[in-house]
Structure 1
Amino acid sequence: MIRIGLGPKEKQKVVDEYLSNNNINKAYCLYYRDFKPSYKTDCEIEYVEYADIIMYKYFYRLLEEIDDKKLIIVDGCMRTQNRSELTYNCAHHYLNQTPHKIIFEHFPIIDSKDDFMILLDFENKGKYKGKSFNYIFLHDEDIKIKPRKIKLNTIPVEISEKDFENYEKKKEYLFDNLGNKDPNTIPRELQLFAGNLKKKAIKPDKLYVARNKRFKLDNVLAYNEIAGKGDYIVIDTHYRRLNMNDFLRISGMSTIKYLCTTLSIDNVIVNEFSKWKARLDAIYAQASLY
């Protein structure tokens, strides 16, 4: 059973219904530390944090304990796009011990449609091993999705001709000095450069989020400081899609308001978001929805 996009109360209802319809004497919940759930169950429930899934102190004990009367809840454990990652493989060993499993996730993918195969591997590793994503798989298992529709609105920020010239010089310098560095450092550096030009657009009565604390303003938070719901204007997007997705989940925002210049890097950011959104919407359009 795979359920995507549900809130805490909705997930609790799914767990309640499953427990009432199955003979379960213990539940295990695998979760990620930033989003620890709390389920009310009549049976014992044990929580295992994502980083502990691979630990010996859990691994062999859980392999001995888990049988066909145990339920495993996998709650928000799609934390890397690498389907062969060790943590996933250890989780598969647990999941193979029982037919009772509920997989919860906020978004159906991190970035690529093939990310959905991670959730299908949790459901039935052997069935989907080595396979790439196909929309037909959305109907091969018990899958229901509550769409999390995200949109992006741009807030124009004017820049001068001098700003544009300095940006082009920065870009040329980064390419000339790339050497053996990760090529992704170039767009990351350019986005920070563009973000610095947006400081003049920051208003004292609004909340903002940026990649770091370089602005030294109380109303501009870094992504790792976002701890609850809020309406934030984005100065820099996070360079990791997973972290950006976490931000959307924590903040509860369905509309991203993005300070946007006419520089090429901001055009790239907007286009990449549009492509990600299109991949999400394509899955929502094909899936069974709540």
Structure 2
Amino acid sequence: MYKFFYRLLEEIDKQTLIVIDELMRTKNRNDLTYNCAHHYLNQTPHRIIFEFLPIIDDIEDFMILLNYENKDKYKGKSFNSSYLLEEDIQMKPYCPKLEVVEVDVTDEEIAKYEKEKHKVFHEIESSLKDPDIIPRRLQIVAGDFKKKSIAPDKRYVARNKRFNLENVYTYDDIWQTEQNGDYIVIDMHYNRLNFNDFLKVTNMDKICYLSTPLSIDKVIIDEFMKWKGVLNTIYAQASIYR
């Protein structure tokens, strides 16, 4: 980074136009990459900022973008809807619909899920493991039960290649090849930023999600709807790009 940082500092002046495109890669407003970008922006009043989504997973993430616009003005401040009108902000709403496709599970599968749930909770209690492994592990177990609903003529996305099927892709497969189009979601990525990247690449207006009656799928759906609600809140108060 520093190989180019100082050279660009010398080249950027008040006549330079800086275009920032998809730089919101962490929720930490003091991230080193963000700080480097601010040094560039301090040397010119001309900037255009593009971001596919206005947040990562929380309304406070929008302040990262406002910091690009005017760091001194918004440094350390929390989100306020009035900021959407104070700055030159134009948004094109992207808020995909969620279609839930129910997948039945057997008593044997429910018992297997409950066994894994008790096992992972015991591991957390008996050690200092990251509690985030709970939804990750349970999602994989629930996802395995969805295999019976995979149709050969449709495309799916899962967290890994455990299904060994040509029409089931991983998130990495899709990011690296930029294969857009529709995918049915077996495992919704536990990292919201990574799932947002998936939406950027595919540009799906409807997310079809395979869901079991198990508790982990309810949590995943509730979290997605909460995220979508934050998006709608911002879009409802922002100037819309026509």
Q: The TM-score by the shorter chain falls in which range?
A: over 0.9
Counterparts in 2 of 1:21-36, with a 5 A limit? none
**2:237 matched to 1:286?**
yes
Deviations 1:45-81 (A, max 9, x none): xxxxxxxxxx122111111111110000000110111
Q: What corresponds to 2:71 in structure 1? A: 125
User: Counterpart amino acid of 1:71?
Assistant: L
Q: What corresponds to 1:257 in structure 2? A: 208
Q: What corresponds to 1:30 in structure 2? A: none
CA distance in 1, matches of 2:89, 2:182: 31
Q: What corresponds to 1:111 in structure 2? A: 57
**2:166 matched to 1:218?**
yes
**Number of residue pairs matched by the alignment:** 236
Question: Of 42, 58, 68, which aligns to 2:4?
Answer: 58
CA distance in 1, matches of 2:179, 2:82: 36
Question: Of 46, 55, 73, which aligns to 1:100?
Answer: 46
Segments of 4+ moved more than 2 angstroms: none
Higher relative contact order (CA 8 A, sep 6+): 2
Look up the SS of the partner of 1:280 in the other structure. Answer: helix
Q: What corresponds to 2:100 in structure 1? A: 154
Q: What corresponds to 1:267 in structure 2? A: 218
User: Counterpart amino acid of 1:285?
Assistant: A
Look up the SS of the partner of 1:143 in the other structure. Answer: coil
Q: What displacement does 1:228 show? A: 2.1
Deviations 1:251-284 (A, max 9, x none): 1101110000000000000000000000000000
Q: What displacement does 1:123 show? A: 0.7
Q: What corresponds to 2:140 in structure 1? A: 192
Look up the SS of the partner of 2:99 in the other structure. Answer: strand
Q: What displacement does 1:151 show? A: 1.2
Q: What displacement does 1:229 show? A: 1.4
Look up the SS of the partner of 1:144 in the other structure. Answer: coil
Whichever structure has more strand as a proportion of its residues is 1
Q: What displacement does 1:163 show? A: 1.0
User: Counterpart amino acid of 1:114?
Assistant: E
CA distance in 2, matches of 1:252, 1:282: 21
CA distance in 2, matches of 1:77, 1:56: 17
**2:178 matched to 1:230?**
no
**2:196 matched to 1:245?**
yes
CA distance in 2, matches of 1:197, 1:206: 18
Query: What TM-score results when the alignment is normalised by the length of structure 1?
Result: 0.80
Gaps of 5+ in 1: 1-54
User: Counterpart amino acid of 2:114?
Assistant: E
User: Counterpart amino acid of 1:275?
Assistant: K
Gaps of 5+ in 2: none
Q: What displacement does 1:135 show? A: 0.6
CA distance in 2, matches of 1:160, 1:121: 51
Look up the SS of the partner of 2:128 in the other structure. Answer: coil
CA distance in 2, matches of 1:86, 1:56: 11
Deviations 1:166-219 (A, max 9, x none): 111110100101221110001000000000010011010110000011101000
- Percent of counterpart pairs with the same letter? 61
**2:36 matched to 1:85?**
no
Look up the SS of the partner of 1:266 in the other structure. Answer: helix
